[in-house]
């Protein structure tokens, strides 16, 4: 098993479901775990420390070390205090699993903007608040592992989840840049896209499917991404015992030039532009611009 002895982890949204399994698994492997959970309903309403404390009690009963915290990840001051709680108790923070989330599902035509904004605040800004709070700690100790919880709804879309999908894909963009910025401090940042039956998925899938998608089946992917040997800038998708990798790729494309008929030339070459035969995963966003300028220079000299 991957060993987390001596490591300190913070898991948000860990009072039940997937977050609970993450916290228990890290504790079983030796990590000291701060269990964060607002204790509200799946739509974000309500608050109580009871859910987090129940997980802490389970960890203590198994001989592990844990603390409960009921901060809302949407409150940056409360998040800073949460990280300080872990540092005061254990002296460091090695692992952050940004797992907290809510659902406010409706079709885009019927969605209230307040529900759109709240989902973004919890998923995206919640992860930003938590990551920003641990970043100086991880930078100073020259070690950190951060796991963002994305979703196939963000990567590929899902009917009725425009707010959730937008937030989850935004976390991928956040991960891409933070992985680059954190490299010099050995802060590795990755995304996990789980398929798991939790309170968040009740009513969305048939019971037989929900029973197959036990949350603990996602945990091995999280453990790898939180480990000393973790990759960085990876997107792992996990569920029901399977693990896949998702990639944001760039095709080789085509040069269509400028001029009044450029749109027509694009239409004629669209199959070539979208051909994935030789697509690649860019090392950074600069690759797109470099590829385009290089092709433009080659065609300039030819003309």
Catalytic residue among 4, 90, 116, 164: 164
Cα separation, 86 vs 224, in Å, equals 22
> Among this protein's residues, is 164 annotated catalytic?
yes
Q: Which residues pair with 36 in a beta bridge?
A: 69
Which of the residues are catalytic?
164
């Amino acid at each position: 098993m991957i060993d987390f002895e001596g490591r300190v982890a913070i898991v948000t949204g860990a009072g039940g479901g997937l977050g609970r399994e993450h916290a228990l698994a890290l504790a079983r492997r030796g990590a000291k775990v701060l269990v964060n959970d607002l204790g509200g309903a799946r739509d974000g309403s309500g608050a109580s420390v009871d859910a987090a404390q129940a997980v802490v009690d389970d960890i203590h009963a198994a001989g592990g070390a844990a603390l409960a915290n009921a901060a809302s990840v949407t409150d940056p001051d409360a998040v800073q205090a949460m990280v300080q709680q872990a540092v005061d108790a254990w002296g460091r923070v090695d692992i952050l699993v940004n797992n907290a989330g809510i659902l406010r599902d409706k079709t885009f035509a019927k969605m209230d903007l307040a529900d759109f904004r709240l989902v973004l605040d919890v998923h995206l800004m919640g992860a930003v608040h938590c990551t920003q709070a641990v970043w100086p700690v991880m930078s100073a100790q020259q070690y950190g592992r951060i796991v963002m919880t994305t979703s196939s709804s963000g990567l590929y879309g899902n009917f009725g989840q425009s707010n959730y999908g937008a937030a989850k894909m935004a976390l991928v963009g956040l991960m891409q840049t933070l992985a680059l910025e954190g490299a010099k401090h050995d802060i590795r940042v990755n995304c996990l896209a789980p398929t798991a039956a939790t309170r968040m998925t009740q009513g969305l899938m048939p019971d037989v499917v929900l029973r197959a998608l036990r949350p603990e089946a996602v945990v091995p992917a999280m453990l790898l991404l939180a480990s000393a040997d973790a990759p960085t800038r990876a997107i792992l998708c996990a569920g029901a015992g399977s693990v896949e990798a998702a990639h944001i790729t760039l095709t080789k494309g085509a040069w269509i030039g400028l001029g009044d008929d450029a749109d027509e030339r694009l239409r004629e070459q669209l199959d070539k532009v979208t051909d994935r035969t030789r697509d690649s995963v860019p090392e950074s966003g600069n690759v797109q611009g470099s590829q385009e300028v290089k092709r433009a220079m080659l065609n300039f000299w030819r003309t």
